[in-house]
Amino acid sequence: MSVQEEKAAWDSLPLAPGPTTVSGDEDNPLAPIEYICRKYGPMAGFTTRFGYTVMVSGAAEVREVLFNPARFQRFENLRLLIGNGLLQSEGPYWRAQRRRAQPRFHQKTVDTYRDIMAKSARETMKRWENNGYADGKPFELGREMLNLALPASQEALLGARMEHRVEELNDASFDVMYYMAFLGNPLVATVFNADNTRRARAALKVFNDLIMEVIERQRGSKSGNDLMSILFSAKDSITGEPLNNEQIRDEVATVLLGGHETTSVMLMWTWFCISQNPSVEERLHEEWERVLGGREPSLEDVGKLAYTHAVFQESLRLYPPVWGLARRAQQDDVVGGCRIPKETLLITIIIALHRDPDLWDAPLEFRPERFLPENADRIPKDAYIPFGEGPHTCIGKHFATLEAMVTIPMIGQKYRIRSKDADSAIPHPYVTLRVPKGIPVWVERRSG
Ligand code: HEM
């Protein structure tokens, strides 16, 4: 086919069908996204403030986009926060970063972090005992899970803790993530006014200052085998020079956000789901009693907690912390038989795939049984991708899994987490799947 014929064939393809206008729903911004995916199918196209945008929600189409990073590069929405860190970079620079970070995330290395994760859970429960939470004083679940996840990811991955600044860092990263969601998500109504922009900038400054503090502190400390020490001795893949502070900053910010934001959101939704499903909670108690009998899970125990693992997986299905992934078309292209002009923004809607009624039975119900080993062959193909897929697939998957498998049984053997106002826990598609005002909960001691 000649170039002209190819161009004519491409021109004759349809654009993805879609609505002419999209109105946001401030109280439930996920609703229009899910509605459009259901109504218009695997490729739904419309114009947003980012230009022509296609929501991709079919398993095959999502796969095509995520497996082809040269054709569909990552959208630059996180650059403000993590610069050119591993979550944002592409091409040879990304490859070198991934190769450098990879050893820290191999299963065997991650297993060595078990004690650090258990320590974080122990500290969380101690805090609950000391500040009245263990006696029924209500608190916000998301915030407590951030407080649990942050020290673990700092100590395991950066070799340093910033205990004195945990609250400050959590506030700053929450604010930045919140505002970035509006910056980077064409489907969420914009809230950018002068006031909010100032708040976002102030939060970004706190975030950056804290990261520089860790870098300075660690530079002076003895070399270990944590990610930070690896970064200090690494060379830039292109210039051959040692990494400068900015490059190290980008990678540290990536680990902090990648490692603790997503994991804390996962823990928040998992506890929320358990609190809403008494029969699931009962079955978890039965498993913990049988396998652990009150002990903390060892690495060997983790492999025996099949139902706990299924609960973790089902929570990631129903509430995937990374609900969608944005990519930019680098050239005129075709996906799912639709014409994709260069520069099109494609958003793969993971949450729509995970809740597709054509693929899953009762998709809105929390049914961990789906993920028990005996049902493995009934999981629809390519329809479950909480950690993404393709070359950029999550490097921290084992880390997050181990954190859930260690901390959930530890806390759950001691306390029940209770939530009254379940209807207000409406997931919002910010950068991660958050509830803007949080999920108020209280705990009950299980014994003693
Ligand atoms: C439940 C928790 C987690 C979820 C749901 C999650 C989800 C994801 C997803 C969907 C991607 C793909 C991004 C893309 O294709 O653009 C990703 C990539 C990534 N994740 Fe995670 N993640 C989790 C935990 C972690 C942890 C604990 C870390 C680090 C400690 C981490 C670090 C990263 C990094 C560095 C990447 C970029 C990999 C690359 O581009 O090569 N994540 N994650």
Q: Which long-range contacts (CB under 8 A, 24 or more apart) does 89-95 make?
A: 92/237, 92/238, 93/237, 93/238, 94/392, 95/237
Whether residue 191 has pLDDT greater than 60: no
Compute the distance between CA of residue 174 and CA of residue 165 in angstroms, rounded to an integer.
14
> Which atom of ligand 1 has the smallest separation from the CA of 390?
15
The answer to whether the CB of 54 is under 6 A from ligand 1 is: no
Average pLDDT over residues 308-313: 98
Q: Which domains does the chain have, with CATH numbers?
A: 3-445 (1.10.630.10)
Q: How far apart, in Å, are the Cα atoms of 444 and each of 287, 290, 402, 448?
A: 19, 21, 25, 11
Average pLDDT over residues 340-346: 95
- Surface-to-core class of residue 312, CB atoms within 10 Å of its CB (0-12 exposed, 13-18 middle, 19+ buried): buried
Q: Quote the DSSP letter at residue 349.
A: E
pLDDT for res 80: 55
- Nearest-CA neighbor of 64 among 337, 377, 319? 337
For atom 7 of ligand 1, the residue with the nearest CA is 387
Confidence of residue 107 (pLDDT cuts 50, 70, 90): confident
Average pLDDT over residues 137-142: 94
Pocket test for ligand 1, best of 63, 116, 262 (most atoms within 8 A of CB): 262
Q: How far apart, in Å, are the Cα atoms of 365 and each of 17, 191, 200, 280, 360?
A: 29, 32, 36, 12, 10
Q: Which amino acid is at 412?
A: G
The answer to whether the CB of 262 is under 6 A from ligand 1 is: yes
Cβ-contact 151, 124 below 8 angstroms:
no
The answer to whether the CB of 321 is under 6 A from ligand 1 is: yes
Average pLDDT over residues 193-222: 74
Whether residue 81 has pLDDT greater than 60: no
The answer to whether the CB of 429 is under 6 A from ligand 1 is: no
Distance 387 CA to ligand 1 centre (A): 6
Q: Which long-range contacts (CB under 8 A, 24 or more apart) does 339-343 make?
A: 339/10, 339/11, 339/13, 339/14, 339/15, 340/54, 341/52, 343/51, 343/52
User: What tens digit of pLDDT does each residue of 405-435 get?
Assistant: 999 999 999 999 999 877 889 998 887 898 9
pLDDT for res 250: 81
Compute the distance between CA of residue 300 and CA of residue 308 in angstroms, rounded to an integer.
14
The answer to whether the CB of 260 is under 6 A from ligand 1 is: no
- Phi, psi angles (nearest 5°) of residue 98: -65, -45
Whether residue 192 has pLDDT greater than 50: no
pLDDT for res 187: 59
Compute the distance between CA of residue 74 and CA of residue 66 in angstroms, rounded to an integer.
9
pLDDT for res 168: 76
CA 129 to chain centre: 29
Whether residue 298 has pLDDT greater than 90: yes
Q: How far apart, in Å, are the Cα atoms of 136 and each of 3, 44, 132, 248, 443?
A: 71, 47, 7, 42, 6
Compute the distance between CA of residue 13 and CA of residue 338 in angstroms, rounded to an integer.
6
User: What tens digit of pLDDT does each residue of 140-172 get?
Assistant: 999 899 889 888 877 777 776 666 676 777 777
Mean pLDDT of the chain: 87
> Which atom of ligand 1 has the smallest separation from the CA of 157?
30
Do β-strands 415-418 and 333-335 pair in parallel, antiparallel, or remain unpaired? unpaired
> Which atom of ligand 1 has the smallest separation from the CA of 391?
41
Distance 93 CA to ligand 1 centre (A): 17
Distance 172 CA to ligand 1 centre (A): 20
Distance 279 CA to ligand 1 centre (A): 31
The answer to whether the CB of 98 is under 6 A from ligand 1 is: yes
Distance 92 CA to ligand 1 centre (A): 19
Q: How many CB atoms lie within 10 A of CB 56?
A: 31
Could you tell me the pTM of the whole model?
Answer: 0.92
Of 161-165, 286-290, 300-304, 399-403, minimum mean pLDDT range: 161-165
Distance 323 CA to ligand 1 centre (A): 12
pLDDT for res 77: 58
Whether residue 237 has pLDDT greater than 80: no
For atom 20 of ligand 1, the residue with the nearest CA is 394
Average pLDDT over residues 200-208: 77
Q: Quote the DSSP letter at residue 339.
A: E
